[in-house]
Amino acid sequence: MNKLVLIHLSDIHFTRSSGVSVHDLDADLRNELLRDVTKLSSGLGGATGVLVTGDIAYSGQRSEYEIASAWLADLCRAVGCPEENVWVVPGNHDVDRKVAGNKVTKSLQEGIRNKNEARIDAELREVLSDPQSAGALLAPLAEYNGFAARFQCSISPEKPFWERDLVLDCGTRVRMRGLTSTFVSNANDEKGNVVLGTAQAGAPRTDGVLYLTLCHHPPDWLRDQDAVVTQLESRVRIQLFGHKHAQRVQVINGKLRLTAGAMHPEREERDWVPMYNILEIARRGDESIGLRLFQRRWHPTATCFVPDPDPATGKEDWEFIWSEYPRPVGNPKKPADAMRMTKADLAVSAVITATTAEVAGAMPTPNYQRRLTYRFLTLAFRHQMAIAQSLNLLTDEDRALSNDVLFREVFRRAADRGLLGKLWQETERRHSDPADFNPFEDSK
């Protein structure tokens, strides 16, 4: 890729009634957004993917995620990027508040929230290191995790954040890291009492890597904001946030902090203004990487999206150039084609959620492992279980596992046994638009 074109949405707030009746006032808004983003991204040479900084659902219910998933697939098809090229993080509306109100979960959350800033990391580590307490803490995000797994963005006690590299032709890596700010989120959420944890924000400095983080809550909502901000402002070049429903662009210590407006703000809000962004990242000479930011704002009388220009220049795009990214020396290593990867390579990359940052590779185009994950996990549950059963990938002990962990095991076993080709075949034949080839045929 000679450049990345990333569509940034936040607070998309799909409810169980979104798009299901003529009384949905936001249906026209979504149609206008699709028209606008299709035209703009086409003019930039096509879209690489879609980034959503939280609040995908409205109340963390499965039906809301099913509607959101269908709309995101429509969006990807409109802008010409693979349907699986969506990356998400959870917001407070992705928390099932009823589950968060359970006594054990609520006690754990408030126990973390009530620690002083210096003790938050230790308390988070202790809770997430114990299987029972970790399970209770993550329980309110179960439906979110089921949705996010198809995009390889689910979270776990072992991996509270995800990473993915997008590689420019020059060899520079844009390393996206999805942060979870909703471990401690319930009916008592207030500004300044949400917790992130320093470990998530601690992106290690690596030559040839530009970090881009996604997080729902901006720093001023975090109880541990001082430690987190120190990490972000020294390490992360592009920081994307949501939650506030108001657009704000800040440059701090040479780093861009973009707090996004909401795509679906509640119409009762005083300043109801739907917004979204497009980011274009590309090399600008031998020493520099550049970003063009296109902010789009709903115009209430024209009833369409229009540019939200840079007030300093009057231009439709905001431009940022960073000179600390020299072109990597020598020819960049080309991504391996999945059809030529070894069984060992496939076993690592086909697992739904990677356990180390090093596993997250250069995203081949197309990325067959990511495609297989997405296609399998968008099937109806009965079809997923039928496939796993037919390939003998289930055991009696699996009944104790959550769906997210279960299907992670299914992928691991399929890779270990050289069954990825059959898993692809059985998955594709249950879709209405099956692929006409199998990239895993020779993976044994």
CA 259, distance to chain mean position in Å, is 16
User: What span, in angstroms and rounded, lies between the C-alpha atoms of 24 and 412?
Assistant: 42
Residue spans per domain, the chain: 3-322, 338-428
DSSP, res 58: S
Give the helix, strand, coil percentages of the chain, each rounded to 5: 40, 20, 45
Quickly count: other Cβ atoms within 10 Å of residue 187's Cβ: 10
Task: Extract the runs of DSSP E, i.e. beta strands, from 135-183.
Answer: 162-167, 173-178
Residues of the chain with pLDDT under 50: 333-364, 444
Strand, coil or helix: what is 12? coil
Q: Residue 307's pLDDT is what?
A: 96
pLDDT at res. 175? 96
CA distance 342 to 346: 6
Q: Given this model, what pLDDT does residue 255 score?
A: 94
**pLDDT score for 442:** 63
Cα distances (angstroms) measured from residue 342 to each of 312, 368, 438: 52, 14, 15
- 279 burial type by CB count under 10 A (0-12 exposed, 13-18 middle, 19+ buried): buried
The pLDDT score that the predictor gives to residue 403 is 78
- C-alpha of 50 from chain center: 8
Q: What is the pLDDT of residue 226?
A: 92
Beta bridge partners of 21: none
Q: pTM for this one? A: 0.89
Bridge partners (DSSP) of residue 290 are 282, 321
Using DSSP, state whether 164 is helix, strand or coil. strand
Q: According to DSSP H, which parts of 6-61 are helical?
A: 26-43
Whole-angstrom distance, CA of residue 322 vs CA of residue 300:
36
- Rounded CA separation 182/189 (Å): 10
Residue 251 has φ and ψ, to the nearest 5°, of -115, 115
DSSP 8-class letter at 19 = T
**Residue holding tokens 């703009």?**
40
Name the 3-class secondary structure at 56: coil
Output the pLDDT for position 22.
Answer: 82
In CATH, which superfamily holds the domain spanning 3-322? Metallo-dependent phosphatases (3.60.21.10)
